[in-house]
Amino acid sequence: MSLSSVQSTLSTLKSCQPDIRACMDMVSDVALGIVEAQGMDNSPALKKLEEMILECSRLDREISCFVESVDEKTAQVRREPPEAMFHLKSSVKERFTELTAGVTDADLQRHSKVVAFRDSVRRYAMQAGQTAAENEEEESDEDIAVTQSQTNFTCPLTQVEMVNPVKNKKCGHHYDQEAVLEMIKAKHKNKKKFRCPKVGCGNADVQQSDLELDLVMKRMIQNHKRQSGKT
Ligand SMILES: [Zn+2]
């Protein structure tokens, strides 16, 4: 196996990571569906989903460890005589075992998507609880949509209701994912920074890495849409 084929195989493997993260968002969304339908009472199902998301976190982490091992060892091989190639496989394996052995449970819990899962479930349960308290007489899915219609779902960029709201972790403002990514790309192409478009916000440099899909708000928007479609 040549070094260039190692690199191309590695980039294929790396391309799985966004899919794993998208899968983690899906698991979180299923969890919100359970909270919406059954509240926090269905803890076995939530527990199961939490196990699933931690499994994804482990997979994501293992791919990173593998990529790191290969990068490190191939760089080393390049500096050594050609025979070193023969030991590449075993030295990568060894380094990988070393790196994965160092991964703790706390590391897996710290994955941003695992944190987002917990946070979303908690926020959504609170929101649903609040609505139920305000509306004690009748409890249905629609309750959630009613109070949330007062929240602002308009994207400051497109001026229309968001479809995939992302939250800026730095300033807390929301934008529609597609619109904001396009703006960041366009600004960076011209070597400029993208300023948060929310009026009065001092955040002068919005980075893609600051943005996190807000599943709770996404669900609120969908409920709101369903509700307003009925009336
Ligand atoms: Zn902002």
pLDDT digits (tens, 9 = 90+) for 88-102: 999 999 999 999 999
Distance 172 CA to ligand 1 centre (A): 6
Ligand 1 centre distance from Cα of residue 107 (Å): 29
Q: Which of helix, strand or coil describes residue 201?
A: coil
Please, are residues 175 and 157 in contact by the beta-carbon 8 Å criterion? yes
Centre of ligand 1 from the C-alpha of residue 231, in Å: 33
Residue 150 C-alpha to ligand 1 middle, in angstroms? Answer: 20
The pTM of the full predicted model, rounded to 2 decimals, is: 0.80
Q: Identify which of 2-11, 127-136, 146-155 has the greatest average pLDDT.
A: 2-11
Q: Is 211 exposed, middle or buried (0-12, 13-18, 19+ CB in 10 A)?
A: buried
pLDDT of 1 above 70: no
| Domains of the chain, residue spans | 1-139, 154-231
Of the pLDDT bands very low, low, confident and very high (cuts 50, 70, 90), residue 231 is low
| Structure confidence by residue, pLDDT tens digits, 2-14 | 788 888 889 999 9
- Tell me the pLDDT band of 149, cut-offs 50, 70 and 90: very low
Report how far ligand 1's centroid is from the alpha carbon of 211 (Å).
Answer: 11
What is the spatial distance between Cα 164 and Cα 175, in angstroms, rounded to a whole number?
Answer: 8
Superfamily of domain 154-231: Zinc/RING finger domain, C3HC4 (zinc finger) (3.30.40.10)
CA of 180 to the centre of ligand 1 (A): 12
